[in-house]
Chain A
Amino acid sequence: GNSVTQMEGPVTLSEEAFLTINCTYTATGYPSLFWYVQYPGEGLQLLLKATKADDKGSNKGFEATYRKETTSFHLEKGSVQVSDSAVYFCALKLTGGGNKLTFGTGTQLKVEL
């Protein structure tokens, strides 16, 4: 079946540190890949996306590259801020199937001063 595996959190970093949150996937077919962010007390927001191999999604200083050979979509940011503290979800979606998103378990990021 289809699944997404994320590194377990929480991840605690100092402000301006480099961030990597690992995400790998298993899918039958060629999925689109997404990162969603959930700030405390809020719903999920789409952070970035990529639809095919070697695509790079980017937004708000975050980046992730769709790596078909390693079935990965790792999230990176060069310099995190306290305001980036949130839970980050990696997700995949296959064409058809009712537009169903399959999420990873989420990784909590805490950024401290």
Chain B
Amino acid sequence: DTAVSQTPKYLVTQMGNDKSIKCEQNLGHDTMYWYKQDSKKFLKIMFSYNNKELIINETVPNRFSPKSPDKAHLNLHINSLELGDSAVYFCASSQQGTTYNEQFFGPGTRLTVL
């Protein structure tokens, strides 16, 4: 009954490869997010989708392409992986229109690019 789940939990890959991370939420929320946490724990938003529509795109290289097939899923595809992409990627979800629009986070995907 995990609220926000991500797969895989760990991903180790070579430079230049293409990889995807998947996120699913079973909270019935209408908004989902991707965050990147670097090695110093700094957390920065990358994308946000509301009802499958992109609403936040924070100057992320176009090698990163989010896709939201439905409100419950937001996947992140990364082309031509670079060393600097190594980080922990967190998915989150929230419901617009609630008092705090509280965001619920997934457990993270640790990506290591060699």
Instruction: Please name the residue on chain A nearest to B4 by beta carbon.
Output: A43
Q: List the count of A-B residue pairs having beta carbons below 8 Å apart.
A: 55
Contact between chains at A100 and B42 (CB < 8 Å):
no
Contact between chains at A51 and B55 (CB < 8 Å):
no
Residues of A76-113 at the interface with B, using a CB-CB cut-off of 8 Å, are 87, 89, 93, 97-103, 105-106, 108
Residue from B94, B100, B106 having most chain A Cβ neighbours under 10 A: B100
Residues of A52-72 at the interface with B, using a CB-CB cut-off of 8 Å, are none
> How far is A36 from B106 in the complex, measured between Cα atoms in Å?
13
B44 interface contact, C-beta 8 A: yes
> How far is A70 from B21 in the complex, measured between Cα atoms in Å?
41
Q: How many of chain B's residues have a CB under 8 angstroms from any CB in A?
A: 26
Contact between chains at B50 and A43 (CB < 8 Å):
no
A27 interface contact, C-beta 8 A: no
- State which of B40, B45, B100, B103 has its C-beta within 8 Å of the C-beta of A105: B40
Contact between chains at A49 and B100 (CB < 8 Å):
yes
Give, as a whole number of angstroms, the nearest-CB distance from A59 to chain B. Answer: 12
Q: List 15 A-B contacts (CB under 8 A).
A: A32-B100, A38-B41, A43-B105, A43-B107, A44-B90, A45-B105, A49-B100, A87-B41, A89-B43, A98-B56, A99-B31, A99-B101, A100-B48, A102-B45, A103-B44
